[in-house]
Amino acid sequence: MRLTAIAGGTGAAKLLRGLVAVRPRHELTVIGNTGDDAEIWGLHVSPDLDTVTYALAGRLDAGRGWGLAGETFRCLEAMGDLGAETWFNLGDRDLATHLYRTRALREGVPLSAVTAELCRRLSVGARILPMSDAPVRTRVRTPDGWLSFQEYFVREKAQVQVLDVEYAGAAAASPAPGVLESIREAELVVVCPSNPVTSVGPVLALPGIADALAATRGRVAAVSPIVGGAAVSGPAGELMRARGLPVSAVGVAAAYAPWLRTLVIDRRDAALVPELAHLGVRAVLADIVMTDPERESALARVVLDLQPSLE
């Protein structure tokens, strides 16, 4: 089966782990969000690409949902001693990834090629594509001005009011090599349970992506990151409100209109099924909160087993 997943970070990582637990890894192509990318201490950090890479390599820290398991932060401490900013926690071994990526980018290697090499070195098995080789940066407007996504999410702990969100550079950026093809040629495209505004939104803002999703002959399904009126994790609720979307599976469906055909929602949200049908989206009920590997695999099976007739 040719399987393409559009992915943010932590929520996506769980479903992707489930997918490779039940299907051969080589079948999976992941299109990763790079709107969260940041320059920290002069290094190019791609948090969502790294979260997905580490998860599929079996190296993700399970508790935090980002960074490497068994990580230490001694360089961070030393940087603090030197007076550097330390609100973004770069781990000692994680730093190797950023050093490797930054050096390659400075030598002119595109992000997609660096990402492929990191996947190969870490024995990921699946293909991970950055959404674009060009810089696209998600920015959040607060009452005090614009913040980068990491300033909003990590430094301010998502505790500031969000007035607007933009994807700087998206309109002029091309999808990375293989991205549009992987959508057009997939038998199943799954939008992971990621933040619709800041994880999936930047991917959808690239020229050609929404058209490819609308035109693909494969099945297109999403898994809701919202359960019972709140995000499973992170600030998706606040960001959806800022975008004028209801904080519910209905808001997720609205964000993915008009190409979304099937949305996997939590059983507790069964009351939303008629409203989703009214939007032209068939809802499939499942246990979508993935608290252990069994639930990751079980949800992956639900997604893989979606019948074409259910679209």
Cβ closest to ligand FO1, residue 10 vs residue 182: 10
Nearest-approach distance from CB 228 to ligand FO1, in angstroms: 22
Using the rule CB under 6 A, is 34 a contact of ligand FO1?
no
Q: How many chain residues bind ligand FO1 (CB under 6 A)?
A: 19
Using the rule CB under 6 A, is 153 a contact of ligand FO1?
yes
Cβ closest to ligand FO1, residue 97 vs residue 262: 97
Residue keyed to tokens 């068994």 = 70
Out of 20, 31, 55, 94, which residue is the one contacting ligand FO1 (CB under 6 A)? 94
Cβ closest to ligand FO1, residue 162 vs residue 304: 162
Residues 44-83 that bind ligand FO1 (CB under 6 A): 45, 47-48, 50-51, 66-67
Nearest-approach distance from CB 40 to ligand FO1, in angstroms: 8
Our CA angle for 240, 310, 296, nearest 5°, is 60
Cite the DSSP H helix spans in the chain. Answer: 10-22, 47-56, 74-81, 94-106, 111-121, 149-150, 179-184, 201-204, 209-215, 236-242, 249-255, 273-278, 293-304
What Å distances lie between residue 225 and 10, 17, 32, 215, 290, CA to CA? Answer: 11, 16, 16, 24, 11
Cβ closest to ligand FO1, residue 206 vs residue 231: 231
Using the rule CB under 6 A, is 4 a contact of ligand FO1?
no
264/266 Cα distance (integer angstroms): 7
37/299 Cα distance (integer angstroms): 28
Cβ closest to ligand FO1, residue 131 vs residue 281: 131
Residues 185-224 that bind ligand FO1 (CB under 6 A): 199
Contacts 24+ apart (CB under 8 A), 68-73: 68/93, 68/94
Using the rule CB under 6 A, is 37 a contact of ligand FO1?
no
Using the rule CB under 6 A, is 235 a contact of ligand FO1?
no
**3-class DSSP state for residue 311?**
coil
Q: Quick check: 194 and 232 in contact, CB under 8 A?
A: no
Using the rule CB under 6 A, is 175 a contact of ligand FO1?
no
**3-class DSSP state for residue 7?**
strand
Cβ closest to ligand FO1, residue 120 vs residue 157: 157
Which of 84, 99, 3, 87 lies closest to 50, judged by CA? Answer: 99
Cβ closest to ligand FO1, residue 19 vs residue 45: 45
Out of 88, 105, 142, 289, which residue is the one contacting ligand FO1 (CB under 6 A)? 88
The site for ligand FO1 (CB under 6 A) is made up of 8-10, 36, 45, 47-48, 50-51, 66-67, 88-90, 94, 150, 153-154, 199
